[in-house]
Each structure stands twice: as structure tokens, then as C-alpha cells.
Amino acid sequence: MHTVRDATFEVLRHTGMTTIFCNPGSTEISLLTGLPDDLDFVLALHEGSVIGMATGWAIGHDAPALAVLHTTAGLGNAVGAIATARANRVPMVILVGQQDRRHLAQEPFLAGRLSGLAGDYPVHTDHPVRAQDVPGAVARAFHQATTFAGPALVVVPMDDWAAPYEGETVTAPARLLRPVSVPDADLAPLVELLAGARAPAIVTGAGACDGWDSLVALAERLGCPVWQESFGARAGFPQDHPLYVGVLPADRPRLRAALAEHDVVLAVGAPVFRQYGYEPGPLVEPGTTIALVTDDPAEAHRSPAELAYLARPDQVCARLAQLVPPREPGPGTHIPSREPAPLTSPQEPGPAVLRAEPVTDGPLRPVRVLRELAARLPEDVVLVEETPSSRPDLHRLLPARNPLGFVSAAMGGLGFALPAAVGLRMALPDRPVVAVVGDGAALCGVQALWSAAHYRVGTLFVVLANGRYAVMDRLAEQHGGKAPWPAFDEVSMAGMARALGCEAIRINDHGELTAALDDVLPTLAARREPLLLDVSVSVDPDFQRDLAWNLGVDAREETAAREGRQARAVL
């Protein structure tokens, strides 16, 4: 007998979703037991890691991933990671198990009240009316996840999988084409705006990461500076390009100052504009016109732009690069040096001035670790970031040189980097993958280390361990009080990694750091065993003040204090 399960497997094969990320429960046994040989099962020890690994896999393959969750507990545990996948615009199909359909009305044990449990974060949620509707629901979820770039949920009662599927039809197109061209007539208003601009600028983000070549061509045609969106999920432009000027400030006063000299700002695959701390006032100065190109309908609908295009950014930029008249570089195209030191001045965006100093036997600081990584990472590295207190230095020292050269969590919740790095390396087994993670963030996704070890996923995890939530400490300080939470410096990340089967090295000084990096990085692309470097780092209070400046917390006061300080070393 041909069953719903058999028909669903055919849909999975047709759509390429043949890797199943899962932490199983009893309501999924009828789906998962005795899988065909052409379907791969990947176990994670927590649902956050399930979705995180699927997120990395989907980014690496540029195609929807498949995850299976266990009714209320599984979906509830995964909601934060689902929210991150939505904010990161990652396509994913999630099957959620449910109790037997035949007695759901009596709310038996493990019956899930699943409607709305994940809020508005899924791009689509389906509860098939009949068992025979499940294969079509899965196919439609694949199309929804692809079209709207996010997670699509299908809730499936456990008895549905064994139901007969004879003479039924999958109610979804076998192939769905999405035309991407934009007629020149429709582009005419944007061409006119850019052609007439005195000093244009581009802000780019994760939505442009698939169109680097076309965006580079447009930026060079315009001779204009390119900013990266703040808190972006991926780099939208090569960050070692001469026209790249850095990460856009995340508060309104500094945002207005950064864009003040530009009369036209074109946002490409980026929101207009992502903020952190609230400050009153407009986003840009009067006289600055904002235009937007995005394929995200929600992003287009909420953006305060005077002209917005809902279209593929790569296609639009490629055509604009041919239609817009070439111009010489204008104001705002100067960028700070990309050399390791010095990197900034008090007048430039970014934390304190870095100056080259002899290495001492003193405590390691995060910037020294990042500097040593920068000297050794290959150009094709996939770099996953989740170190909030060190992010400004990471942006400056480790520019993305390929579209996956910076991958982060746009949502801001912790627990993304470890599982995402595992999924990325599974999808890209011949590319070096490095995750740079704070210990607070690593603790929220530590179960992924078991999956990395068990499936022989050769990712390098560099954990900057300061034994505290450094950003939270600083924010509490900004609010004029003492944080009630203690440090957690008793935690050994190396010990936890080893307990989960992952090789780990504790790093306490500069010599141990360089020795470990020199040993592992040259062979990282071919490595088949994960390694965690538990790097003990200290936090400079001045560095924390600079962090607040980068986040836009009390920006005016911090800026005034910053301008009054002399350049200092943070090494």
C-alpha cells in the first residue's frame, strides 16, 4: 500500500530536502523509523540546535532545509531559533509532530496546542485537514519558504503517515518559476534619481549577498561609498573593496551624521534602517532621499523610503550598472586603512585606536585573538560570528571577502553560531568554517558540539571566554545601576566540549593561541574532526565604553567622552 509517508518522501526527493535535522519524540516515530537509504538523518541534542544546524545547512546550500520537531515541547524550545531563521531570511520547512488525529478532540497526553505557538515568525503554517493532504502541504511549504525566505511549518498528526495514499494528487506545482527581470521603464525613476545625485551612497545587507558582482559594478559606476547594514545576518558587499566604508551606525544621531553629506541613499537588500537604542528625530537629514531595492515584501512595506522596488536586488543592480551614467568618485568615498594597525582615529566610526605593540605575557584581549585570526584566515573562509562584546573589532579586523565571509544572527538572540557553523560545514564540506563565539552565546547552543563530533564535522570554534555577559554588564552600567547577575567564570567551555565528544584546547596566553592557530588553520578545509579553542580573555573597561559607542547607547554622551580621551592601546 502506498502511504502518505511514501508520498511525502517523494516530495522530499523532488525538492531536494533529503537531509532531516531532528531531535525526535514519540509522535514522530511513525515518520522516522526505517528511513529509506537516500534520506539522511542528523541528530541534534536540543531543538535550538536542530533549527540552528538546519539554518546553516540552508545558507550553505542556498536552498530550503528540512527540520522535524516534537509537538509542543519541541516547537516551544525552537521558537527563538525559528525567529532567527526568519530574521536571517533563511528558507526552511519544519514538520511538527502531533498526537493521533483520531482522539485529538480529547486532548490526550502530548497533544499540542500548536496554533500560534511560534507567533508570526513562520512565513506559513499549515494544519492539513486530511492525512492525504500532507504531501501537498509539504510541497506548498517548500514553495512558501522559498518565496518568502523563511521557515514554513506543517503540523502532522502521528497517525497520518500510515494512511493510504492511493489515487491522490499532490496539490502543489511540481515546478514554480519566479521571473526576476525588471523592465527598463520601471527602473526609469531610480535611474533618474541616481543619475541626478550629487553625492549618492549605498547601504547593503544580507538580501544582497547573492549579487556581489552586480552590486560592485553599480557602486563602481556611481563611484560612491558602500555601508553595511547594522546587525546584518550576512555581508552584502566585499568588505575589502576600496568603496566599502564600514557598518552603518545603529542609532539615529550617528546615522544622520554618517549619511549627512549624501543627497541620495540607495538601500539594497537591507532594511531602512535597522536601529538599536532609541533616539528621537528622523533617520536622515532633510534633503536626503532614500530608495530601496529588496525582494522581502515586509521589508519593502515598512521602510520609510521615497522610492521602493520589490524585486531581486542582483537583477536590479546588474541593470542599473548599465543604465546609470558613470561618475567620478565624490564626497564620502575615503575609507580608513584596512591594515591591522592603526585602524581608526577618534573621528572615524569604530572603537578605540589600535596601535601595534610588542606582545607581552599579560592577559589576552579579544582584539589580540581577532588580530591573530586575521593574519591566518584563508580568503574563502566561512566566518560565523556571535560575540557581541567584540563585534566592532571583528568587523574591522576580519572583513568579509566572500559572500559567506560574515554570517551572524540578525535577530540578536544567543545560541546561533555553534549549530549554524555545524550546518554550514555539513553543507560545504570542503570549505574552512570558523565560528567566533562569546562564551555566553556558546552556552546557549553548546549541544551542537555533540553533533559536530558525532558526524565528524571539521569546524573550528573559537570561544572568547570572559566568564560573563559583557554587553549586559555594560548596559546595566549605562543605566546607572549594578547588574544583579554574577559572573560565570567557573564554567569551562573546554570541559563541556570534551564531555560532548568534541576535542578542545584551553588557551591562556599568546603563545598557546598562535601555536594552536598555526597548527589547525592550514589544514582546516580538509579537517574532519571539530576543534574548540577555549580562549581566556579579559575585558578592558575602556573597551566596554567603546562598545556602547558602537551600539549607540547614550551615543551623544559617549561621543563627547570619546573625543576627550587620548588614543590608547587595547591590546
> For the segment 472-517, what is each residue's pLDDT rounded down to a tens digit?
777 777 777 777 877 778 889 999 999 999 999 999 999 999 999 9
- Residue 340 predicted with pLDDT over 50: no
Question: What string of H, E and C letters represents the secondary structure of 463-481?
Answer: EEECCCCHHHHHHHHHCCC
Average pLDDT over all residues of the chain: 86
Q: What is the predicted pLDDT for the residue at 243?
A: 93
The pLDDT-based confidence of 174 (bands split at 50, 70, 90) is: confident
Q: What is the predicted pLDDT for the residue at 467?
A: 75
Q: Which residues in 290-318 are b (16+ Cβ under 10 Å) and which e?
A: bbbbbbbeebbeebebeebbebbbbbbbb
The beta-carbon contacts of 558-561 under 8 Å, at least 24 apart in sequence, are: 559/254
Q: How far is CA 48 from CA 73, 184, 354, in A?
A: 11, 45, 37
The x, y and z cell numbers of residue 357, run together, are 605593540
> For the segment 411-424, what is each residue's pLDDT rounded down to a tens digit?
888 899 999 999 99
- Residue 17 predicted with pLDDT over 80: yes
Domains of the chain: 4-162 (3.40.50.970), 184-323 (3.40.50.1220), 366-563 (3.40.50.970)
Q: Which residue has the cell 511525502?
A: 8
> For the segment 268-291, what is each residue's pLDDT rounded down to a tens digit?
999 888 888 888 888 888 999 999
Lowest mean pLDDT across 3-7, 93-97, 242-246, 356-360: 356-360
Pairing of strands 92-98, 151-157: parallel
Give the DSSP H/E element, type plus range, for residue 461: strand 460-465
Task: Confirm if 121 and 62 have CB atoms less than 8 A apart.
Answer: no
Q: Which residues in 79-111 are b (16+ Cβ under 10 Å) and which e?
A: bbbbbbbbbbbbbbbbbbbbbebeeeeeeeebb
Mean pLDDT of 547-566: 40
Backbone angles phi, psi at 354, to 5 degrees: -105, 130
- Residue 85 predicted with pLDDT over 50: yes
Q: What is the predicted pLDDT for the residue at 547?
A: 53
How far apart, in whole angstroms, are the C-alpha atoms of residue 488 and residue 390?
A: 18
- Residue 341 predicted with pLDDT over 60: no
Q: How far is CA 81 from CA 47, 202, 414, 415, 420, in A?
A: 8, 30, 9, 8, 10
Q: What is the predicted pLDDT for the residue at 361?
A: 58
Pairing of strands 433-438, 382-386: parallel
Count CB-CB contacts under 10 A for residue 479: 11
Residues 6+ apart with CB under 8 A from 364: 507, 508, 509, 510, 513, 535, 536, 537, 538
CB burial of residue 437 (10 Å; 0-12, 13-18, 19+): buried
Task: Confirm if 264 and 201 have CB atoms less than 8 A apart.
Answer: yes
> For the segment 287-305, what is each residue's pLDDT rounded down to a tens digit?
999 999 998 888 888 888 8
Q: What is the predicted pLDDT for the residue at 486?
A: 78
Task: Confirm if 60 and 427 have CB atoms less than 8 A apart.
Answer: yes
Residues 6+ apart with CB under 8 A from 144: 123, 124, 152
How far apart, in whole angstroms, are the C-alpha atoms of residue 188 and residue 191?
A: 5
Residues 6+ apart with CB under 8 A from 358: none
Q: What is the predicted pLDDT for the residue at 566?
A: 26
How far apart, in whole angstroms, are the C-alpha atoms of residue 395 and residue 365?
A: 16
Query: What percent of the chain lies above the pLDDT cut of 90?
Result: 63
The x, y and z cell numbers of residue 548, run together, are 556602547
Beta bridge pairs of residue 434:
383, 460
Q: What is the predicted pLDDT for the residue at 541?
A: 56
Amino acid found at 434: V
pTM: 0.88
Please tell me whether the peptide bond between 135 and the residue prior to it is cis, using omega within 30 degrees of 0.
Answer: no
The pLDDT-based confidence of 150 (bands split at 50, 70, 90) is: very high
Angle at the Cα of 281 from the Cα atoms of 275 and 287, rounded to 5 degrees: 100
Between 480 and 553, the higher pLDDT residue: 480
DSSP 3-state of 367: helix
Mean pLDDT of 52-65: 96
Mean pLDDT of 326-333: 64
Q: What is the predicted pLDDT for the residue at 178?
A: 78
> For the segment 257-268, what is each residue's pLDDT rounded down to a tens digit?
999 999 999 999
How far apart, in whole angstroms, are the C-alpha atoms of residue 426 and residue 433?
A: 10
The pLDDT-based confidence of 565 (bands split at 50, 70, 90) is: very low
Amino acid found at 514: T
The pLDDT-based confidence of 208 (bands split at 50, 70, 90) is: confident
